[in-house]
Structure 1
Amino acid sequence: MKSLTLVLVATLLTSFSAQAGSNSDRRALTLGSVETTDVTDQYPQHAVTDRELYESELLGQLNGISAKLTAAEAIVDQVINIGTKVWNVVEKARPVSNYNSSRATALPQGALAWSQLEGWQQPVTRVYSASYKNLMGVEVARLVYRVTLLYGGSVEGVGRYIGYASVEPVDVNVLPMWQLDATASVDSVYNMGTSRSPVAGMILNVSWQVRSVLSDRRQSDTLTLDANGNIRQTTRR
């Protein structure tokens, strides 16, 4: 009888331990809180270097599009995106290798490259963060990304346009058993000014997905950019 009692006690303890472990695993793999923040003040402004500008100009020359765009060649009140429309930023918790070459534009119809315009201003940036914790209060995923905007170029002094907008993963940290993917896309580019004095605008979406075997959460930021140098986070959902 005594040995039977010991066996029963051991069985119960093993069962309770397994159940506690199972509950702990579920809590570890289930999303709890999400904190989203504008952290621009924590990161230095990212400016285009002289070398980057030189390489961009050189690429334009190699492609035969280095000549300045004239008002006669452009439809200044029609704004188009000749850059990338959808691109990956993070895949399987790692920044993609070519994220820095994926850029969207908002240029006048007739332009072949942003370097054909003149009067570009110093680029501006905003940095945003999303931090995910599980039910145990442990951060399981963090995405920090920077939006860079080259703005203000014109065609012989007419209009203001967006040379490029880019999305750069600044910090990606994901625990084992979790997955993070992120993409950027341009919903639209448009003229927010007048036909005589065009001002380019752009709606940029940054979307990401955080998941485990027990959780799957999608989130996105909608950003409005313009050729006056403004980057505004209009929606986070």
Structure 2
Amino acid sequence: MNRVLAVFALSALIAFQAQAQIPTRDQNYYKIKSVVTKEITEQNLPSVVVPNEPADFDLAPAEAEVLDITSFLSLDAVVNIGKGVWTVVQAGKPTTDTKFDTANALPGGATDWTELEGWGAPEFKTFNVQYKNIYDMTVVDFTYRVMYIANGNVKGIGQYLANVTVIPVNLSVAWGFKFNVSAAIPTVTNIGTAQNPLAAMQVNLRWSASSFISSEESSRMFYITGDGEFKEIN
């Protein structure tokens, strides 16, 4: 019995000493010091696979009987028939898989962006946000694209927006940190005239990084118009 107790005590001592030798992170590791956001070029970035879903970026509408839609559309009333708010990243993981949430700025009465014509190719801007701790270590590194399709019209009248979305490209979150991103479309408006509407959309992005002792929130706002103009309004 004494031998068994001695072996047990020796094993416990060895385990304690081994645990004591494992370095523990001090609180400065978990403290967020700074956040930096910037627009970046597309060099050395992985390509984004555009989903083959009903709300995708396939510019060829399904074959259907051609209808005169101008009789039931309010061309000067711009509305969003897509998402108004959605989650992009939750608990450090992108929420998109093969289908992306999208917003639209279409004439009132439209039920799908394919009812319009003249759409251009998908356009996008790419941005990066980094959070650093006290030791200047990058604890969150997030690259994303804001993608959209512009220049949709109704028999040559108006310029509208379709499939506005935010796509995660790269995401790295260090151990001990949480990261969340959400997108919101607070307004869609007609900044043109009643005779020649020009759709405009505000896109708000909000993200937060946190540890058990530190938390920081940041946001970025963009303004996109139906003629393809894209600008930051922060």
Q: Which bin holds the TM-score, normalised by the shorter protein?
A: 0.7 to 0.9
Q: Which residue of 2 aligns with 1:178?
A: 177
Is the helix fraction higher in 1 or 2? 1
Structure 1 residues 112 and 138, CA, compared in 2 at 3 Å: closer, same or farther? Answer: same
Amino acid corresponding to residue 40 of structure 1 in structure 2: T
Q: Which residue of 2 aligns with 1:94?
A: 93
Identity of matched residues, %: 29
1:1-237 to 2 correspondences below 5 Å: 25-42=26-43, 43=45, 57-58=61-62, 67=66, 70-98=69-97, 100-235=99-234
TM-score (norm 1): 0.80
RMSD: 2.7
Mark the runs of 5 or more structure 2 residues left unpaired by the alignment.
Answer: 1-19
Question: What are the Cα deviations for residues 79-137 of structure 1, in whole angstroms up to 9, with x where unaligned?
Answer: 00000000000011000035843100000001000000000011110011110110011
Offset of residue 35 of structure 1: 1.6
Structure 1 residues 186 and 99, CA, compared in 2 at 3 Å: closer, same or farther? Answer: farther
Structure 1 residues 230 and 57, CA, compared in 2 at 3 Å: closer, same or farther? Answer: same
Point out the more displaced range, 207-216 or 32-41: 32-41
Q: Is the 1:45–1:125 Cα contact (8 Å) retained in structure 2?
A: no
The 1-side partners of 2:122 and 2:58 are apart by: 15
TM-score (norm 2): 0.81
Q: Is the 1:151–1:162 Cα contact (8 Å) retained in structure 2?
A: yes
Amino acid corresponding to residue 180 of structure 1 in structure 2: F
Structure 1 residues 227 and 125, CA, compared in 2 at 3 Å: closer, same or farther? Answer: same
Amino acid corresponding to residue 88 of structure 2 in structure 1: V
Structure 1 residues 233 and 68, CA, compared in 2 at 3 Å: closer, same or farther? Answer: farther
Offset of residue 227 of structure 1: 0.6
Amino acid corresponding to residue 31 of structure 1 in structure 2: I
The 2-side partners of 1:110 and 1:69 are apart by: 13
Q: Is the 1:161–1:199 Cα contact (8 Å) retained in structure 2?
A: yes
Structure 1 residues 187 and 67, CA, compared in 2 at 3 Å: closer, same or farther? Answer: farther
Q: How many residues align?
A: 210
Q: Which residue of 2 aligns with 1:9?
A: none
